[in-house]
Structure 1
């Protein structure tokens, strides 16, 4: 397996490091959706959601497919879907520790 640059890993993980982006990813887990559907699902602001979608797409986490005047967004591939599922599995085990963690280093 090819070694990935550390800075690239950090950039990729930052794609997941936002509440709105996580909400978007969770709503895309089962099916592709338009911006309007995502806005409705997470009760968000279209401009804000569009910015987060651009971030997720730029990081290679989601993809967009144009059909007519709509763009449909989806999880990029099965590996990303598995990674999101694994986040939930791991967090189920460590959620109390994460919730009480006060030392966040940026």
Structure 2
């Protein structure tokens, strides 16, 4: 088993710890999009979305590609897409437990 530093793991997992960031990941899981397209998908504001994109990029979950005046964001690779899919598989199995968890923080 590959051993990764716990602080690195925590920085990586931070990318998944916010609703807006997860929504962004789901918005770009299949196709790359500009900030404006992501803002439209999420009905958010550009400043907030841009901050979350910076976090996701820093966590290694997404990459950006400059094309003229636009930056197109996409999920980093198939491994990250697989991980997002695996979350859904695991959550389908444990969602009732999560719903009953009294320690859950919104």
TM-score computed with the length of structure 2 as normaliser: 0.94
Query: How far apart are residue 96 of structure 1 and its match?
Result: 1.2
- 2-structure distance, mates of 1:104, 1:30: 30
Distance 1:91 1:2 in 2: 24
Gaps (5+ residues) in structure 2? none
Matched, 1:74 2:68: no
Q: For 1:53 and 1:79, how far apart are their aligned partners in 2?
A: 19
Q: How many residue pairs align between the two structures?
A: 105
Q: Which runs of 4+ in 1 moved over 3 A?
A: none
Aligned-residue RMSD, C-alpha: 1.3
Structure 1 residue ranges without an equivalent (≥5): none
**Contact 2:39–2:46, Cα closer than 8 Å, also in 1:** yes
